[in-house]
Amino acid sequence: AYGIRLMVAADFALPHSAGIGTADPLDPAVQRWWQKRAEEIYGLIPDFGGVVIKADSEFRPGPHTYGRSHSQGANMLARAFRPHGGYVIWRCFVYNCKQDWRDHAIDRPKAAFEQYAPMDGTFDAHVILQIKNGPYDFQTREPVSPLLYAMPNTEKALELQLAQEYTGQQIDLYYMPPMWQEITRDLLPFKPRHICAVSNLGRDDNWTGHDLAQANLFSYGLFAWRGQTADDDADWWIRLSYGSNPVVLSTLRAMLLRSRAVYESYTAPLALGWMVHPDSHYGPNPEGYEYDKWGTYLRTDGRAVGIDRSSRGTGFTLQYPEALRRRYDSPHTCPQELLLFFHRLPFDHVLPDGRTLIQYIYDTRFEGALGAEALLRDWESLEGLIPEESFRHTRERFVRQLQNACEWRDVLNNYFWRFSGIPDERGRRIY
């Protein structure tokens, strides 16, 4: 009904654990095992959609375990499911997760492109490569993955994340459609035909933890259906959820539309990511990932911060089409909001508005905490206009967000002050 088909996330190594002793995609016994499983599944579920595979990723086995390519692994599965109308969705989240932090030559954002782009045209028709919107892992802000611009002879799917893994854990408010609008704008005319998302559904009574996070799920459905966002999507969800009171409508619309900027302003200066606690992915810990094996480094020292990913550095910008390469390659033409993703800059680097980099960091941390305070205040102004249970539960989330924002402000300002030794020119308190 409604065109919905079930798909299952499967383990590439299933034949090995099932007793065959290998999952080598070129082994005839492995091929027969998958063919038999497909026949069994379609005998029970005739409209089964296929399988989603995460292989050779984050310590999981895959084709590389047996010296095979990803196209060989994906095609083997596709040939088992294709006769029944099924597809193989192959996730491209593959990188070196055993990196030595001392090694400056390896640059994790380059990994997916290096792995898959040379295999363009080698994947079977029923294989779809699932590519995250950015080259890292759903950080607060990233450029569009260069792999989405490549591989014209391969079916690709844009992968988004509704779950706020690094964007507030559905404790802090973060409305995502403005980000999707930017992705769509930047991808044209390279936008894939397919789209998917890591959902934000959980065991909470309201499904999403934060009542207002339901707006992301609702808007994603519209985005997937239409291929673009609309300015009134937020209004549509607000009316369905809270009615048509004009005060409620205007207040919640404003809160949703500015929430991404608020969260970004206290967490991720100029696309500098990975400063969360590694265990919870929530709250500030700027060196939590700095000396680990995940390739998520800031390289902060007493003079500068960031990694030079230009053609003069790791060469990451060379993976983009020429027009974007030129745009990203220089700090003078790179969009300011992505500056520290692509460039290593000294703390006294002067931004177009005349502020130094370090002063921008200080200012935006203070502004972010004030923004979180304003979100709480705006929500409290709706008391009596919002159902009591939703008002109480959501107010608790905004209180926690304000506490989190203040912690981010103080921890990051202290972190960068200790490295740079440069005080806040406005004399505000930095611990």
pLDDT in tens, 196-209: 999 999 999 999 99
pLDDT at 293: 93
Provide mean pLDDT across the span 286-299: 95
ω before 284 within 30° of 0 (cis)? no
pLDDT at 387: 98
189 backbone dihedrals φ, ψ, rounded to 5° = -95, 30
Residue 29 lies inside a defined structural domain of this protein: yes
Residue 175 lies inside a defined structural domain of this protein: yes
Residue 25 lies inside a defined structural domain of this protein: yes
Distance separating alpha carbons of residues 214 and 8, to the nearest angstrom: 24
Known catalytic residue at 137: yes
Q: Assess contact for 310 and 343: CB atoms under 8 A.
A: yes
The pLDDT mean for the chain works out to 97
Residue 65 lies inside a defined structural domain of this protein: yes
Catalytic hit among 137, 142, 159, 172: 137
- CATH number of the domain encompassing residue 206: 3.20.20.80
Q: Name every residue whose Cβ is closer than 8 Å to that of residue 49 and which is 6 or more positions away in sequence.
A: 5, 6, 7, 86, 87
Residue 423 lies inside a defined structural domain of this protein: no
Distance separating alpha carbons of residues 112 and 119, to the nearest angstrom: 11
Residue 261 lies inside a defined structural domain of this protein: no
pLDDT at 1: 60
Residue 357 lies inside a defined structural domain of this protein: no
pLDDT at 229: 87
pLDDT in tens, 354-379: 999 999 999 999 999 999 999 999 99
Provide mean pLDDT across the span 273-293: 96
pLDDT in tens, 114-129: 999 999 999 999 999 9
Known catalytic residue at 165: yes
pLDDT at 228: 86
Residue 396 lies inside a defined structural domain of this protein: no
Known catalytic residue at 58: yes
Look at the chain and report how many structural domains it folds into: 1
Classify each residue of 383-415 as buried b or exposed e, where b means 16 or more C-beta atoms within 10 Å of its C-beta: eeebeeeebebbbebbebbbebbbebbbbbbeb
| Structure tokens given for 375 | 């979100």
Task: Tell whether the model's pLDDT for residue 48 goes beyond 90.
Answer: yes
325, 327, 331, 332: CA torsion to nearest 10: 150
Nearest Cα neighbor of 30 from 44, 8, 12 is 12
pLDDT in tens, 238-278: 999 999 999 999 999 999 999 999 999 999 999 999 999 99
Catalytic hit among 11, 120, 124, 165: 165
Residue 220's domain spans which residues?
7-241
pLDDT in tens, 302-314: 999 999 999 999 9
Q: Among residues of the chain, what percentage have pLDDT more than 70? A: 100
Nearest Cα neighbor of 174 from 257, 239, 231 is 257
pLDDT in tens, 311-358: 999 999 999 999 999 999 999 999 999 999 999 999 999 999 999 999
E strands of 141-292, at which residues? Answer: 156-161, 194-198
Task: Tell whether the model's pLDDT for residue 235 goes beyond 70.
Answer: yes
pTM of the model: 0.95
Q: Assess contact for 86 and 276: CB atoms under 8 A.
A: no
